[in-house]
Amino acid sequence: MKYIACFLIMLWNTPVQAQLMPLPSAVYEYNMMAVNVEKGTEIRPILDGPTETLDNFRVKHFSLSDGKSLKLKKGEEKLVLIFSGELQVNQGMKSENLESRSVAWLTKDQPANIHHSGDSPVSFFVVEWESKQVGKDFKPEFNSLTKFNYRQLEFKKSAKGGRRDVSRGATPTLQELEMHITTLKEGEKSHDPHVHADEEIILVLQGQVEEMINGVPYLLGPGSLIYLHAMDAHGIRNAGKGKCEYYAIRWITKNTGK
C-alpha cells in the first residue's frame, strides 16, 4: 500500500482566506516539520488557525537544551505535553515538575515559565486555543496549573494493548476536554474508521502508526501530530514493530445558548 507521509494541502492560499476557513484534517510527520532555531531553542510550528469550534488553535513543538527556559504569554488556555525529558512549569504561585509523557493544563489568565530541569535535552508540545464560546453560570473543573503525571496514571490492559485515562472535565472555555493515552500491540488497530462531532488531535509518542483519514492512509512516526476535523472518518493502527503509544486529545466547546 502506498502511503502519503507529508502534509495534507491546506485549502487556502491567502491570509484573508485563512481567517475564514477552519483547519482541515491533516497529518504532520515529525521528520518533515520546518525547524526554526532561536537562541539555542528549536521551534517547530505545526498548526495555527481557526477550527470549526475554536477561534484559533495553535500547536508548536519545542526542544530545549540544558538550562534553557521558555516564557509563555497569558491570553489562551494551554496544554504542555512532554515528549521526552523533564521540565519545570511555573505559573502564578504554583510550580510543577513534569517527566516524559506527562501533561499540564495552564490557565489563560497568567503568563507561565517553562524551564529545562533534567540532565538531557527535553522536547515538548505547547497546545493553545482561543474560544469565545463561554456560557454563563458555568463552573470549570480546572482553574489553575494542573499536572497529570504519566507514571501515576492507571494502565488498563486490553486484548489490543491498553489505555491510560488522563483527564475529562470542563475548562473556562471548553465544555469538555478529554485526554487519554492508548497503547497498541504490534499490528493492532484501535478501532475501525468512524466519525464524531468532536475535534481531536493525536500525538504519536512511540512506534509507527497508520492513520486512515477519509479512506486515505498516512504513515507517521514518533513526534508526529494528527489533526482531525469534526465528522471526518478516521481510524488508527500500529503499523510498526513492537508496541506504539499515542495521546488522543479531543474537546467540546461550551453551548452559549444562542
pLDDT tens digit sequence for 25-74: 999 999 999 999 988 799 999 999 999 999 999 999 999 988 889 999 99
Grid cell in block for residue 131: 474560544
* Average confidence (pLDDT) over 82-90: 95
pTM: 0.89
The backbone torsions φ and ψ at residue 31, rounded to the nearest 5 degrees and listed phi first, read -70, -10
Model pLDDT, residue 56: 95
Higher pLDDT, 255 or 91: 91
Which residue in 83, 115, 110 sits closest to 97, CA to CA?
115
| C-alpha–C-alpha distance, residues 118 and 86, integer Å | 5
Total residues found in the chain within this entry = 258
| C-alpha–C-alpha distance, residues 101 and 6, integer Å | 25
* Average confidence (pLDDT) over 209-215: 97
Average pLDDT for the chain: 89
State whether residue 238 is helix, strand or coil: strand
**Percent of the chain residues past pLDDT 90, beyond the cut:** 76
Q: Is residue 6 part of a domain?
A: no
Model pLDDT, residue 15: 45
Q: Is residue 94 part of a domain?
A: yes
Least confident of 16-25, 90-99, 199-208: 16-25
pLDDT band at 7 (very low <50, low <70, confident <90, very high): very low
Provide the number of structural domains found in the chain. 1
Q: Say if residue 170 is exposed, middle or buried (CB neighbours under 10 Å; 0-12, 13-18, 19+).
A: middle
Model pLDDT, residue 8: 44
Q: Is residue 90 part of a domain?
A: yes
Q: Is residue 243 part of a domain?
A: yes
What range does the domain containing 137 cover? Answer: 15-253
* pLDDT higher than threshold 50 for residue 6: no
Model pLDDT, residue 9: 37
Instruction: Please count the other Cβ atoms lying within 10 Å of the Cβ belonging to residue 190.
Output: 20
Q: Is residue 184 part of a domain?
A: yes
Q: Say if residue 110 is exposed, middle or buried (CB neighbours under 10 Å; 0-12, 13-18, 19+).
A: middle
* Average confidence (pLDDT) over 198-214: 97
Model pLDDT, residue 204: 98
Q: Is residue 2 part of a domain?
A: no
- Cα within 13 Å of Cα(124), Cβ side: 29
pLDDT tens digit sequence for 126-143: 999 998 766 556 678 888
Q: What is the dihedral of CA 12, 253, 108, 113, to 10 degrees?
A: -70
Q: Is residue 150 part of a domain?
A: yes
pLDDT tens digit sequence for 140-188: 888 899 999 999 999 999 999 999 999 999 998 898 999 999 999 999 9
Q: What is the CATH number of the domain that holds 26?
A: 2.60.120.10
Residues 6+ apart with CB under 8 A from 9: none
